[in-house]
Structure formats: structure tokens, C-alpha cells
Amino acid sequence: MARDGKFKISKSQFIKGDQCEKALWLYRERPELKPPITEEQQKIFDKGHMVGELATNLFPGGIEVIVENLNMEEAERLTREYIENGKEIIYEATAVNSDGIYSRIDILEKAGDTWNLIEVKSSTSKKEYHIKDMAVQRLAFEGAGFKIDRSYLIHLKKGQYFKVTKSSNHEEVFEKVDCTPEVLNMIEKVSTKTGDLLELVQQTEEPNKEMGSHCDSPFECEYKEYCRSLK
């Protein structure tokens, strides 16, 4: 599939489509249906951003890929430029593979002649969707030509979610988990699902999907009220 045009899927879009294909289609084709972000949701987003910034202190001396309007092409170009300039730690590094799967990684760390992918989460434990999330990242970076060694998850230690602040001691609040075996075991499943979703986003008709337990797991779907209105 060509990389240009609208038919690309991000890591976050994969997680949405893995939960519900219809939700992904609505997100892309019916943006007017998405409700505004609530104050509580914004607090969660802000906490996630703060935790992500704090975690970079575990890997000092890096450079951040900063782009306007989530321009992934520019983010990918800057990532390559920083690597060519010898940077060994890159925050928000970006890769797009030949199928159009693109992903940013919180921390890209040089490890000899390979790279480690390090994802930061504000949760206090490892979740199944974290592994899927990291598998998509690995697909994107390996498909873009990166030689990847380890896939690490950094999350908050238990009891830290409501305590952590931007001035917390970063060495005391985080736990680093090597998820490489689990991510590798998930790659084939995620690759197949990604192919299905790449076909889905080319459809012009809204998918027919009944409501069910997937509407609330692993996240509450923002399109529940819309789907209820169709009954």
C-alpha cells in the first residue's frame, strides 16, 4: 500500500480499531461525532504528558523531535537527521513503514548497532494493550529499516499515580520492564490485524458493528451514544 494519501494508521488508531473497527472508522470519517474532551479526561492526558516528560530524566542528554500539527513526515525526517548527526537518545522518535503504519516512541535508545524502544505509561502495571501498542511500534520501526533489540515498558510503581509530580525523584517512581518476548509473540497477531484495519479505513460505508462488552474495554468508547441512537 502506498504511504502517501490518507490511508495510514497510527499506533493510537490501531489500539482504537483493535477494540472496535467501527470506532476507528467513525474517528477518521465522522469527526463531528466525537464529543469534546471532558475536564476529567484532560486531567488524565495532562498527567500522562507530565509522567512522560519526567521519564526522560532516566535517559538524559537526548534530543526531542518537535513538529507542528503532528506532521509525521517531518517528524520522521528529523528522526533520521538526528541519527545521522550521531544522536543516541531521541525523544518522540518517529517511523513510518512501507505499509503506512506509523508510530512515535517515547524514547529511542542506541544500543551498540541496534536500538531499544522505550514506551512510558502513567499506569502502575503492565496491561495487555500495552503489549499490542509496543508491537505496533516495533512493526513501524523495523519496517522502516531500524534494527531493534529490546522493547521496554516504563510505568509508575504501585501507589505512585496520585503522588507523582514533575519534581518527583524519577529514579524512585518508575519501574522498567523488559517486554521483548511478549512483544515478539504479539507481532504476527498485530501485523494481521493492522492489515485488516488498513483495508477498513479505505471503506466508504460505515461498518455494521453491534454494541457489546468491547464498548468499555480496555477503554470506554466515545461513540457509545451515537451507536445507541442507531437502535
Tell me the CATH number at 96.
3.40.91
Distance between CA atoms of residues 200 and 202, nearest Å: 5
Spell out the alpha helix ranges (H) of the chain. Answer: 11-19, 21-29, 39-55, 72-84, 128-143, 170-173, 180-200, 224-229
Mean pLDDT over 223-231 rounds to 91
How many folded domains does the chain comprise?
1
Q: Is residue 1 part of a domain?
A: no
Whether residue 168 lies inside any domain: the answer is yes
Contact predicate 13/82, CB 8 Å: no
Q: Answer whether residue 88 is part of any domain.
A: yes
| 53-88 residue pLDDT tens | 999 999 999 999 999 988 889 999 999 999 999 999
Does 75 reside within a domain?
A: yes
Q: Tell me what the mean pLDDT of segment 110-124 comes to.
A: 98
Q: Taking Cα atoms as reference points, which of 120, 117, 155, 121 lies closest to residue 136?
A: 117
Residue 44 within a domain: yes
Domain that holds residue 64: 37-197
The whole-model pTM stands at 0.92
229 within some domain: no
Share of the chain above pLDDT 70, in %: 97
- For residue 104, being part of any structural domain is answered with yes
Q: Is residue 10 part of a domain?
A: no
Identity of the residue numbered 194:
T
| Mean pLDDT of the region 123-139 | 96
